[in-house]
Structure formats: structure tokens, C-alpha cells
């Protein structure tokens, strides 16, 4: 049952990554790109958890993908705030 749930979560995060990737292609807003990469990292996290034996000693290394996802989200938010606070050049 655990593998089924992890498969479901893998599919859901991949769909979210594709949704944000499509939004990035339409708007060219880099925040969507960072979110797409973050959800892709979460997809790798769920694939790793489903494929690694929980009794193995190094299962905690799979969670580095989750850490990378949250770091990408933070970087995307900071990047968005920096770009929106710059003054615009007059037309």
C-alpha cells in the first residue's frame, strides 16, 4: 500500500511540475520555472522513497531532494521579490 501512495504522490507532483512549466512557457515568469523545478525535485524524492528499502541505512539521503525543492521555492520567491522591486525605465 505504501508504494501505491508513493506512486500517487509521484504522479501528482509531476503533474504540478508540468503545470508550472506550461505557465512559465506562457508568461516567461521565472517564479513558475523555480516552482516547476521544485516539484520535479519532489517527484524524484517520491521515486527515491519508493525504490529504496526503508531498512537501509542511507534512506535519509533521499530527503535531500525534498530539501532541494524547498530551497528552490525560497530562491524563486526571493528572485521574484528582487525583480519586482526594481524601478522600471521610462518608456
* pLDDT, tens digit (0-9, with 9 covering 90-100), for 2-44: 788 888 999 999 999 999 999 999 999 999 999 999 999 999 9
User: Is 64 strand, coil or helix?
Assistant: helix
pLDDT at 62: 81
Residue 19 lies in a domain: yes
Domain of residue 47 covers 2-80
More confident residue, 51 or 91: 51
Is residue 89, in this structure, part of any structural domain at all?
Answer: no
pLDDT of residue 91: 55
Q: What is the DSSP string of 3-47?
A: HHHHHHHHHHHHHHHHHHHHHHHHH--HHHHHHHHHHHHHHHHHH
37 occurs within a structural domain:
yes
| This prediction's pTM | 0.83
85, part of any domain: no
Q: How many domains does the chain have?
A: 1
Amino acid at each position: 500500500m505504501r508504494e501505491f501512495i508513493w506512486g500517487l504522490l509521484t504522479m501528482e507532483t509531476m503533474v504540478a511540475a508540468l503545470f508550472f512549466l506550461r505557465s512559465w512557457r506562457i508568461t516567461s515568469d521565472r517564479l513558475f520555472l523555480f516552482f516547476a523545478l521544485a516539484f520535479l525535485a519532489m517527484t524524484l524524492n517520491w521515486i527515491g522513497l519508493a525504490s529504496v528499502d526503508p531498512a537501509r541505512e542511507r534512506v535519509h539521503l533521499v530527503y535531500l531532494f525534498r530539501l532541494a525543492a524547498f530551497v528552490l521555492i525560497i530562491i524563486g520567491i526571493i528572485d521574484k521579490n528582487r525583480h519586482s522591486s526594481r524601478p522600471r525605465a521610462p518608456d
